[in-house]
Amino acid sequence: MDNSFFIFTDKAKPILIERFHMCTWEFSNDSSLVEFGFEINKESIVEDEMTIEMYIPWVSEKCQKKDLYGKLSNAENSRFIFNDSINGTEYLKNNTNNLGVIHTFSGRNELCVLPATVNISNDRIISISLNLKNYREKYQQDEKPNIYFRFWIKPELPFISMRKKGISKSTIIYDIKINERRNIPVDKIDYFSDKVFCKIRYCFSFNILPNKYDIVFFDNGSLKNVRTLEYESFNKYLGDKRVKKDELIVVFNKKEVDEFENKKVAESFSFFSIYSKERIGPGQFALAILINIVCGVLLFIPAYRKTFVPEISLLNVWKVLPNEIYIALGIALATLIYFTLPLINSQLNKGWLWLLIKIGYKK
């Protein structure tokens, strides 16, 4: 799966992203979810309206989406997401939290969380719009805080990661690239010529996946920690029944521009990691039984042919084989069908979804 993301605006309206959060969820029932969070630097807020666009290679108009302002306006959820205690929460206007809230943290600057309008076009572009009128009216004279918004997308395909399944091992590969110009699709080169990629100060990547997987490869420079998912807090925040207790782990990566480069922001980031799990289960035992049956039959037939005088041909031997051989071959065939049919159905469904997405893009 291509995971080259591009975050951009019109050239006349550049935006500095203080922190960019990307959180990928992979659940045990072969489904996924992706969250995107943006903390916008206060100096970028100069108008009453702001629009940020994002190119996502696998997104389509059929993907479900949801703005997470309702979740983050709750101080308990924000305390957990931003990993800091909250000393107080203030409404942006008119004593209602529908227009925005300002959280005052203990260990970091206050932050204004705003609702966002998320739209998906048929050319793999997501447009995020913010109404900043109330924010700018409130902070005409005072020192204003950064703003933050967050939303999730449900992919049409089961996973956005690359999956490799072997006989004894399953592997998940995440190769996430953000604003890497060399990965701009050919059909979007002209489109991006009129755009400017957003500068990013800190980039965060969270991979949440079943705890049956082990980390095979990771970037030493970006990996911060690995922990079991805090079920109670995430269940309250996400409200998704696919989140099960003690089933998921969180792999947290963070990147920022190296100080020796004498820069404070960067345009592109990348995260690469590999996870795997051993697969010793019914499928492997069935394969061993299947191989054993087939090899047994192949070894039996030559010896059985030599019991006839003169020796009969391979073509004729099938007419006189004992019934037990046909029973064994029937068991082998049934085993093969039983364990390959789900895989065939899965590949057909993926192909069908891919075709539907391609047709949707062309429209």
CATH of the domain at 197: 2.60.40
The reply to whether 159 and 53 lie within a common domain is: yes
Please write down the long-range contacts of 267-270, taking CB distance under 8 Å and 24 or more positions apart. 267/179, 267/197, 267/198, 267/199, 267/200, 268/177, 268/178, 268/179, 268/180, 268/181, 268/197, 269/177, 269/178, 269/179, 269/200, 269/203, 270/175, 270/176, 270/177, 270/178, 270/180
- 59 pLDDT band, cuts 50/70/90, is very high
Cα distance between residue 276 and residue 31, in whole Å: 17
Is 254 in contact with 222 (CB distance < 8 Å)?
yes
117-120 vs 195-197, strand pairing mode? unpaired
Give the mean pLDDT of 47-73. 95
Q: Write down which residue in 231, 252, 278 finishes a domain.
A: 278
Least confident of 14-18, 252-256, 301-305, 341-345: 341-345
The reply to whether 131 and 96 lie within a common domain is: yes
Preceding omega of 310 cis (within 30 degrees of 0): yes
Q: What was the pLDDT predicted at 258?
A: 56
The reply to whether 244 and 320 lie within a common domain is: no
Cα distance between residue 172 and residue 261, in whole Å: 33
User: Quick one: which of 126, 131, 93 has its CA closest to 115?
Assistant: 131
Partner residues linked to 254 by β-bridges: 204
At 84-111, the pLDDT tens digits run 999 999 998 887 888 999 999 998 889 9
Q: What was the pLDDT predicted at 261?
A: 47
User: Quick one: which of 39, 132, 41 has its CA closest to 92?
Assistant: 132
Is 183 in contact with 176 (CB distance < 8 Å)?
no
Partner residues linked to 40 by β-bridges: 17, 147
Q: Write down which residue in 259, 278, 297 finishes a domain.
A: 278
The reply to whether 71 and 207 lie within a common domain is: yes
The reply to whether 146 and 36 lie within a common domain is: yes
pLDDT at residue 54 is higher than 80: yes
Q: Write down which residue in 243, 278, 313 finishes a domain.
A: 278
**Whole-model pTM?**
0.78
pLDDT at residue 236 is higher than 80: yes
The reply to whether 308 and 186 lie within a common domain is: no
Count of domains observed in the chain: 2
Q: Coil, strand, or helix at residue 338?
A: helix
The reply to whether 257 and 302 lie within a common domain is: no
- 284 pLDDT band, cuts 50/70/90, is low
pLDDT at residue 167 is higher than 70: no
The reply to whether 192 and 318 lie within a common domain is: no
Give the mean pLDDT of 167-185. 90
The reply to whether 262 and 290 lie within a common domain is: no
Q: What was the pLDDT predicted at 363?
A: 46
pLDDT at residue 259 is higher than 50: no
Q: Which stretches within the chain are classed as H helix?
A: 69-72, 75-81, 133-138, 189-192, 231-238, 282-305, 314-317, 323-362
The reply to whether 265 and 307 lie within a common domain is: no
The reply to whether 231 and 289 lie within a common domain is: no
pLDDT at residue 266 is higher than 90: no
The reply to whether 192 and 168 lie within a common domain is: yes
Domain with 355, as residue range(s), is: 282-362
Cα distance between residue 316 and residue 274, in whole Å: 53
